[in-house]
Chains A and B, each alone.
Chain A
Amino acid sequence: MSKLKHISIVIILASLGLVMLLDLNKIPNQFEYANSIYHHITNNAVGETGSLNFVTAILYDYRAYDSMGESTIIFGAVSGIVLLLSRKTLPVSSHGLSFIVKRTYGMLTPFIFLFSVYIIAHGHLSPGGGFQGGVILGAISIIFSIVYGSEFDYKRYTPTTKTLLETSGALLFIGIGLIGIIYSGSFLSNLNILNSEPGSLLSAGSIPFINLGIGFKIGAGLAIIFYSMIQKTFKEEASL
Chain B
Amino acid sequence: MINHIVFIFIFLLGFYAILVKKSLIKMVIGLNIMEGAIFYWFIAITDRGGIIPIVQSTQVAFNLNDPIPQALILTGIVIGASTSAFLLTLIIELNKFTDSTNPDQLGGMIED
Interface check B66, CB cutoff 8 A: yes
Residues of A within 8 A of B60 (CB): 42-43
Residues of A within 8 A of B68 (CB): 37-38, 41, 58
A20 to B41 CA separation, bound complex (whole angstroms): 13
Residue on B nearest A199 in the bound complex, by CB: B57
Q: A85-B92, A233-B92, A236-B96 are in contact. Are A42 and B19 (CB under 8 A)?
A: no
A27 → chain B, closest Cβ, in Å?
7
CB <8 Å contact, A42 and B74: no
A80 to B5 CA separation, bound complex (whole angstroms): 38
Residues of A within 8 A of B48 (CB): 31
CB <8 Å contact, B66 and A38: yes
Residue on B nearest A38 in the bound complex, by CB: B66
Q: Which of A24, A30, A41 contacts B46 (CB 8 A)?
A: A30
Interface check B29, CB cutoff 8 A: no
The residue in A42, A58, A225 that gathers the most chain B C-beta atoms within 10 A of its C-beta is: A42
Q: Which of A59, A232, A233 contacts B71 (CB 8 A)?
A: A59
CB <8 Å contact, A58 and B89: no
Q: A24-B4, A54-B53, A70-B78 are in contact. Are A1 and B20 (CB under 8 A)?
A: yes
CB <8 Å contact, B71 and A73: no
CB <8 Å contact, B89 and A84: yes
> Number of B interface residues, CB 8 Å?
42
A33 to B5 CA separation, bound complex (whole angstroms): 26
Per-residue contact bits, chain B 70-81, to A (CB 8 Å; 1 contact, 0 not): 110011001100
Residue on B nearest A221 in the bound complex, by CB: B82
Q: A55-B70, A55-B71, A81-B89 are in contact. Are A74 and B78 (CB under 8 A)?
A: yes
A148-202 at interface with B (beta carbon < 8 Å): 198-199
Residue on A nearest B52 in the bound complex, by CB: A127
Residues of A within 8 A of B52 (CB): 127
CB <8 Å contact, A73 and B19: no
CB <8 Å contact, B86 and A9: no
CB <8 Å contact, A85 and B78: no
Residue on B nearest A125 in the bound complex, by CB: B54
Segment at the interface with B among A45-53, A89-97, A105-113, A205-213: A45-53
Per-residue contact bits, chain A 55-80, to B (CB 8 Å; 1 contact, 0 not): 10111000100110010011011001
Residues of B within 8 A of A216 (CB): none
Q: Which of B12, B54, B71 contacts A52 (CB 8 A)?
A: B54
Q: A37-B68, A198-B58 are in contact. Are A77 and B78 (CB under 8 A)?
A: no
List 6 extra interface pairs beyond A20-B11, A58-B67, A225-B85, CB under 8 A.
A16-B15, A21-B8, A55-B54, A55-B67, A55-B74, A81-B86
Please list the 8 inter-chain residue pairs (A to B) with the smallest Cβ-Cβ separation, ordered nearest first. Answer: A54-B67, A77-B82, A54-B53, A58-B71, A81-B89, A17-B8, A55-B67, A24-B4
A-B contact pairs, 24 of them (CB 8 A): A6-B20, A17-B12, A30-B46, A37-B68, A38-B67, A46-B58, A52-B54, A52-B55, A53-B54, A54-B54, A54-B64, A54-B67, A55-B54, A55-B70, A63-B71, A66-B75, A70-B78, A70-B79, A85-B92, A198-B58, A229-B85, A229-B88, A229-B89, A229-B92
